[in-house]
Structure 1
Amino acid sequence: MENDDYFEDEEFSPVRSLLGLLTFSTILPINVFTSIEYMTKLTWCWPFLHIFVGILAAICGYVSLDLLHLNSFFTAVIVYAFLMLITGYNHLDGVMDMADGVMVHGTPEKKIRVMKDSSVGSGGVATLFLVASLTIAGLYNILDYHFIFGIIICEMSAKTSLLTTALLSKPLTPGIGSYFINETNAVNYFASTAVILVIAFLLGSYVGLAGVVGAMISGVIIAAIARRNFVLANGDVLGMSNEVGRLFSLLFMAVMLFYF
């Protein structure tokens, strides 16, 4: 989806751009492609698209928990595996790459070189293991309360975390991540987040709201870590924000479920 003569005469189409964004972030057989410039114009709609992904994962969880009568832990692993598969493991390399960059000592330039290196270090592997394990534990916790809607909330909130990081970051160019960061501004971010908060409240009342707030806090934290270590942010940083955002959303919902 880099700049290509194939898209030179293309006109902007919101529907095509949304489908292109869904093609980019999942393995669903949509196969609609558009230029990266047009696709990222609707970056603020990304959380809405992943409501659909969350619904599919929630159905997976319902079948496992209520129809197959598997326990909450087994169901949590299945749901997490489903989310990773349907999104094509899209952000896992970002988790490992950013972790490697943060772990190395040196200047921002050196850290960026390590982050962009194709090899993976022990810090990246360990961080991926921790994020994945804690996410499964979070799913296990909300499923213990039979809060199936929490799966939908955490998946759409993951993208809200990504948008939060994009809003608070300066782009590292060139790179695909820079297009998403440049197209995220305060107006479309707050409009997107307001709608997501309403949807989360309808699905889970104050527990749902807590899930979105947790993801937003995650986005702020990842943006701050990226700024301190790299000054600029790229697609790897956004990928890390997505995965940690899902985790923080689950964490906040798990705490709220205990009290409410």
Structure 2
Amino acid sequence: MEDDNYFEDEEFSPIKSILGLLTFSTILPIRVYTSIEYMTKLTWCWPFIHLFIGVIAAICGYACLNFLHLNSFFTAAIVYAFLMIITGYNHLDGVMDMADGVMVHGDPKRKIEVMKDFSVGAGGVATLFLVAILTIAGIYNILDYNFIFGIIICEMVAKTSLMTTALLSIPLTPGIGSYFIFETTPSKYLLSTFIVAIIAFLLGGTVGVCGVLGAMFSGVIIALIAQRNFGVANGDVLGMSNEVGRLMALLFMATALFFF
């Protein structure tokens, strides 16, 4: 990364900050860096960055189904693997760390210590496996309905889930997660979620909106679990919210596809 002294005299640039957020979120060779303060000012744009990632994943899924002639389950596994790889496995450690913290007995201080520990326990590994396999099953389900746009929607609204948790949480400082939480204000959250809902509706109608509701529901649940166990939230909690948000969006959309 660039010399930290550079950031002291840096002026805020929306384009550079968005590209910095894309660099932070993915393994794409953008290599544009900015200060964490400036990058997180555009947290409300995060879902739209992952809208782009979702489009690429949907193209991958379409190619697997229509050109490679793979079945829906194999395609779902490849799409999930693609999403994990292109995002650099960015939130998987959060899933394991938060799960370990929740599972351990003790007061919030003890749970936070376990969550921040570099080692991973059985609870973390098992939770990651469950989230991963259920997400693959969710993608498989929507592909059975030929709802390829669901891939785009679930990846976009995963960040809406993260933002919902950030909005409802007290940050654990210091830490990178605290910057995202501080910048997720009610006005920014409402603006972002409103635009996300419009995009989801244009892509999937009522089913798409159900995906947004699933992600928001996930964000609220993760925030409540974090508050009950830790009293605060950090990057690990936000990472858990992202991954569970994608899963819950798929669950809500799969249910909606059956009824609508």
Q: Which residue of 2 aligns with 1:197?
A: 197
Letter in 1 for 2:220: V
Q: Which residue of 2 aligns with 1:64?
A: 64
State the Cα distance separating 1:3 from its structure 2 match.
10
Q: Is the 8 A contact 2:104 2:111 kept in 1?
A: yes
Q: Helix, strand or coil: the match of 1:119? A: coil
1:143-166 CA deviation, whole Å, 9 max, x = no partner? 001100000000001000000000
Q: Which residue of 1 aligns with 2:220?
A: 220
Q: Which residue of 2 aligns with 1:175?
A: 175
Aligned alpha-carbon RMSD (Å): 1.1
Matches within 5 A, 1:24-43: 24-43=24-43
Q: Which residue of 2 aligns with 1:231?
A: 231
1:54-74 CA deviation, whole Å, 9 max, x = no partner? 000000000001111100000
TM-score (norm 2): 0.99
Q: Which residue of 2 aligns with 1:131?
A: 131
Q: Which residue of 1 aligns with 2:52?
A: 52
Change (3 A) 1:144 1:220: same
Letter in 1 for 2:54: G
Q: Which residue of 1 aligns with 2:16?
A: 16
Q: Which residue of 2 aligns with 1:82?
A: 82
State the Cα distance separating 1:6 from its structure 2 match.
2.5
User: Using the alignment, how far apart are the partners of 1:124 and 1:211 within structure 2?
Assistant: 26
Q: Which residue of 1 aligns with 2:147?
A: 147
State the Cα distance separating 1:5 from its structure 2 match.
1.9
Q: Is the 8 A contact 1:214 1:252 kept in 2?
A: yes
Matches within 5 A, 1:102-121: 102-121=102-121
Q: Which residue of 2 aligns with 1:245?
A: 245
Change (3 A) 1:3 1:101: farther
Q: Which residue of 2 aligns with 1:210?
A: 210
Change (3 A) 1:191 1:2: farther
Displacement over 4 Å in runs of 4+:
none
Q: Helix, strand or coil: the match of 2:106? A: coil
Show structure 1 runs of 5+ residues with no match.
none
1:165-184 CA deviation, whole Å, 9 max, x = no partner? 00000000000000000000
1:12-49 CA deviation, whole Å, 9 max, x = no partner? 00000000000000001100000000000000000011
Show structure 2 runs of 5+ residues with no match.
none
State the Cα distance separating 1:4 from its structure 2 match.
2.8
Identity score, percent = 78
Q: Is the 8 A contact 1:212 1:249 kept in 2?
A: yes
User: Using the alignment, how far apart are the partners of 1:12 and 1:151 within structure 2?
Assistant: 33
Q: Count matched residues.
A: 260
1:200-232 CA deviation, whole Å, 9 max, x = no partner? 000000000000100000000000000000000
TM-score (norm 1): 0.99
Q: Which residue of 2 aligns with 1:259?
A: 259
User: Using the alignment, how far apart are the partners of 2:139 and 2:220 within structure 1?
Assistant: 22
Q: Is the 8 A contact 2:101 2:111 kept in 1?
A: yes
Q: Is the 8 A contact 1:169 1:227 kept in 2?
A: yes
Q: Is the 8 A contact 1:2 1:35 kept in 2?
A: no
